[in-house]
Amino acid sequence: MGESSECSVETVSVIGSLKIIRYYRYSIPRLKLLTQRTQRSLEALPGVTLPLNVEQSVDATVDHRKGPRRRGEQLEQAILTATLEELADGGYSALTMERVAIRARTSKAVLYRRWPGRAELVMDACKLNGVSDVDIPDTGSLRTDVIALLRQLSAKMATPLGGIIRGLIAETARDPEFARLVRERVHIGPAAIDTILERAVTRGDVEPAILTSRRATVATDLLRNQFLLFGAPIDDAIILEIVDDVYLPLVQRVV
């Protein structure tokens, strides 16, 4: 037999090894080491062209959901964390229950036993990560309370959470049911401003009627619009302008 026959035999042998590697599940480090060696052997043969990356092919055959069994809070935490990571990577529109399940190393059936759909899953993930959590300022002054609140919201918008918030708000325009859930479960700013105004009413700085008027949330609305249109970080001068030039003249009692 000539050189070509020897090459063919060697090629068949190496490809046979590759098939064994693909179909028998070793530990991940051992499996990748073997595939790398096989790929180098194939690449060294004359006239052999690999149709795909061997390591990627093997990765595709490995079920990443296999691992230590998790239950209860540990499993739920992994799912919600995976949901936030998916939101950060591709936004709500690209998020699917299947992608979350793969990232969390579980199954779609497990997700659907806990959440009826992706909208409810996303709301719980946001709650877990404190998307709408803020420390309500209590300085004894309406002006400094509102400034402190807007600065806190602005700082949160400048973190990776800001991108998630922005994506959720944008999605509400396309999905009415999702918009309803966001209004019910994600309160970014308005709940805190209500508490600040209630304290101001008690001090006599604001008329009680302001609490139920549209003027109550103007400060947080303007900050949100600034973020949606221009992104973060939001300059502190803009926050002061919102409070001093717009909000206080609207809500503060005229003496």
pLDDT at residue 42, rounded to an integer: 54
Sequential pLDDT tens for the chain (255 residues): 554 444 444 444 545 544 444 444 444 455 555 556 666 665 565 555 544 444 444 344 444 455 566 778 899 999 999 999 998 888 888 899 999 999 999 999 999 999 999 988 988 888 877 766 788 999 999 999 999 999 999 998 888 888 888 888 888 888 888 888 887 777 666 788 999 999 999 999 999 999 999 999 999 999 989 998 898 899 999 999 999 999 999 999 887
Asked if residues 88 and 163 have their Cβ atoms less than 8 Å apart, the reply is yes
Pull the structure tokens for residue 91: 């936004």
Token pair 């479960």: residue? 185
* pTM assigned to the model: 0.63
CA separation for the pair 216, 205 (Å, rounded): 13
CA separation for the pair 230, 237 (Å, rounded): 15
pLDDT at residue 60, rounded to an integer: 43
pLDDT at residue 173, rounded to an integer: 83
pLDDT at residue 43, rounded to an integer: 57
Three-class SS of 108-164: HHHHHHHCCCHHHHHHHHHHHCCCCCCCCCCCCCHHHHHHHHHHHHHHHHCCHHHHH
pLDDT at residue 6, rounded to an integer: 46
pLDDT at residue 52, rounded to an integer: 45
